Amino acid sequence: MSSQQTTQPPCPINLDNSPLVDAYCKKTAGSIVLAKRARKIFPTGITHDARYIEPHGIYVTHADGSHKWDVDGNKYVDYPGGHGALLLGHNPPAVLEAVQTQLGKGMHYGASHELELEWGERVQQLIPCAESIRFNNSGTEATMLAMRLARANTGREKILRFQGHFHGWHDYVSGGFLNHYDGTAPRGVPVGTAQTILHTPPNDLAAAAAILRGSNDIAAMILEPTGSTWGQVPIQPTFLQGLRELATETGTLLIFDEVICGFRCSPGGAQQAYGITPDMATLGKIIAGGMPGAAVVGRRDILAGMDFRQAAQDGAEKIFHMGTFNATPTTCAAGIAALDIVRDTDVCQQAIDYGDALINGLNEMFTAEGVAWIAYGTFGGFHVFLNPQQLATNRAEIEAGVHSYATLKAPNDPALAMKVRLGVLLHGVDIQGWPGSPVSTAHTPEDREQTIDAFRQTVGLLREEGALA
């Protein structure tokens, strides 16, 4: 794909003359009022690009377990799950109790405290590469810091990234997720910054090897180890192993961005699930039990670049890193409670099993309905390939990496993808827009049946209005 090509949906999406959209609007009249108000406050009326829904999204009043409710009193099975942070669903009692116990003891000490040690020790116990840890507030901050640490450790400037992989929104990674796959600078990003990032296709070891062996200035490579958008474009374990070997051979650091797959693929993340240890990893979402929190973890000698004493001893400039809200006590309390459950129970497997059963149920229904859509996913969630070219393929082939990111991510019919989202909302299910979502341990067999039925009803409505063959 060139810089002109994009997998980002165009705007506005034409949703005119759609009874499905009309029914959604009728059901969400209160949200329409709030969406109009929001457009006077926020660009597009939203506070996160992934919450962009046409003609408007739902406005939520509260959530519990696997459900949330909107201002019109509609109840939804909730899959976005705090953008993947809520492996345990909404309000897991142990996490809630830990936060409630901490509230009233001070929101922020502006000093060190024991809870941050306990949180860090949990992360060290669980994540294989976590010899040393620095907490921060978001996955974006974590990937930015990991890149700085890699550059400092190796004395090299460039970072190799994989087309379509998501690492947050900072300047180094804004290009290459939805567009600018050729390394050109996205609007607002300095050309010089963009030029420090090299782009290569996922699952192409020869291409990565040629770049890594052809330069002595690549500090690190960063990737989502389960594949772009956490498995929407699956990565093969042999590719990961190949990257590990190339990293060692070329002195390039390997960074796993486990912001979403950490504590989800397995208690020790993708690195434990695959038995491949990166030099550094970035963690977020589940790590903080639903509060804002993230971390860079990795080899002690790499993170030691931030250590005052070590830097002085080495005669090196200490790597600068701050963060007002790093490891606040309430975040630590939530994180400890969530990670204890991850460590001591089989929650990761529960979510994986639910996701698998949902995928099987969806595919049976798609086959019965005669639509070419395919559900897939292996890590406690699901993705639905809308298959605009009607390819004769299946779940196993997609998961085996037969199709490229350009095929699996291209929203060839953005109106259809948006209507799918609105259609399932209309039937009481909220998913992410690609379409797909992580799942949680709070989801029940009834939720699964409702989700399959919501997709079935949506297929019917789309056919009635001629949007689907």
Contact track, ligand PLP, 78-97, x by CB under 6 A: -----x--------------
**Residue 260 in contact with ligand PLP, rule: CB under 6 A:** yes
- Closest CB 300 distance from ligand PLP, rounded Å: 23
Q: Which two tokens stand for residue 458?
A: 């949506």
Contact track, ligand PLP, 360-399, x by CB under 6 A: ----------------------------------------
Q: Which is nearer to ligand PLP, 283 or 333 (CB)?
A: 283
- Identify the residue whose tokens are 């509230």: 103
- Closest CB 367 distance from ligand PLP, rounded Å: 31
Pairing verdict, β 158-162 and 132-136? unpaired
Q: Which two tokens stand for residue 69?
A: 């409710």
- Closest CB 363 distance from ligand PLP, rounded Å: 25
Query: Contact with ligand PLP (CB under 6 A): which of 79, 135, 162, 166?
Result: 166
**Residue 281 in contact with ligand PLP, rule: CB under 6 A:** no
Q: Which two tokens stand for residue 167?
A: 């690492």
List Cα–Cα distances, 108 to 105, 116, 213, 338, in angstroms.
9, 12, 47, 20
The amino acid at residue 217 is D
Q: Which is nearer to ligand PLP, 255 or 452 (CB)?
A: 255
Q: Which is nearer to ligand PLP, 67 or 264 (CB)?
A: 264
Q: Which is nearer to ligand PLP, 165 or 403 (CB)?
A: 165
- Closest CB 43 distance from ligand PLP, rounded Å: 17
DSSP state at residue 375: E
d(CA 6, CA 165): 13
Query: Could you tell me if 63 and 78 are in contact, meaning their C-beta atoms sit under 8 angstroms apart?
Result: yes
**Residue 143 in contact with ligand PLP, rule: CB under 6 A:** yes
Nearest to 409 by CA among 176, 71, 88, 196: 176
Q: How many residues bind ligand PLP (CB under 6 A)?
A: 14
Q: Which is nearer to ligand PLP, 30 or 237 (CB)?
A: 237
- Closest CB 352 distance from ligand PLP, rounded Å: 18
Helix (H) or strand (E) segment spanning residue 280: strand 280-283
Query: Contact with ligand PLP (CB under 6 A): which of 164, 168, 278, 381?
Result: 168
Q: Which is nearer to ligand PLP, 81 or 428 (CB)?
A: 81
**Residue 232 in contact with ligand PLP, rule: CB under 6 A:** no
How big is the chain, counted in residues?
A: 469
**Residue 224 in contact with ligand PLP, rule: CB under 6 A:** yes
Instruction: Phi first, then psi: give them for residue 30, nearest 5 degrees.
Output: -65, -35
Does residue 435 have a cis bond before it (omega within 30 degrees)?
A: yes
How many other CB atoms are found less than 10 A from the CB of residue 117?
Answer: 12
**Residue 456 in contact with ligand PLP, rule: CB under 6 A:** no
**Residue 259 in contact with ligand PLP, rule: CB under 6 A:** yes
d(CA 168, CA 184): 18
* CB half-sphere exposure, 442, CA atoms < 13 A: 20
Segment interacting with ligand PLP (CB under 6 A) among 256-264, 360-368, 430-438, 460-468: 256-264
- Closest CB 425 distance from ligand PLP, rounded Å: 21
Handedness of CA 145, 151, 157, 163 (dihedral sign): negative
According to DSSP, the residues that pair with 70 across neighbouring strands are 60
H-state helical runs in 155-278: 191-194, 205-213, 228-231, 237-250, 269-274
**Residue 140 in contact with ligand PLP, rule: CB under 6 A:** yes
**Residue 271 in contact with ligand PLP, rule: CB under 6 A:** no
**Residue 240 in contact with ligand PLP, rule: CB under 6 A:** no
**Residue 265 in contact with ligand PLP, rule: CB under 6 A:** no
Nearest to 236 by CA among 287, 276, 198: 276
**Residue 284 in contact with ligand PLP, rule: CB under 6 A:** yes
Query: Could you tell me if 294 and 139 are in contact, meaning their C-beta atoms sit under 8 angstroms apart?
Result: yes
How are strands ordered across the β-sheet holding 429-430? 60-64, 67-70, 75-78, 429-430
- Closest CB 231 distance from ligand PLP, rounded Å: 11
Helix (H) or strand (E) segment spanning residue 382: strand 381-385
Q: Which residue's Cβ has the minimum distance to ligand PLP?
A: 139
**Residue 208 in contact with ligand PLP, rule: CB under 6 A:** no
Segment interacting with ligand PLP (CB under 6 A) among 7-15, 28-36, 132-140, 341-349: 132-140
Site residues (vs ligand PLP, CB under 6 A) = 83, 138-140, 143, 166-168, 224, 257, 259-260, 284, 294
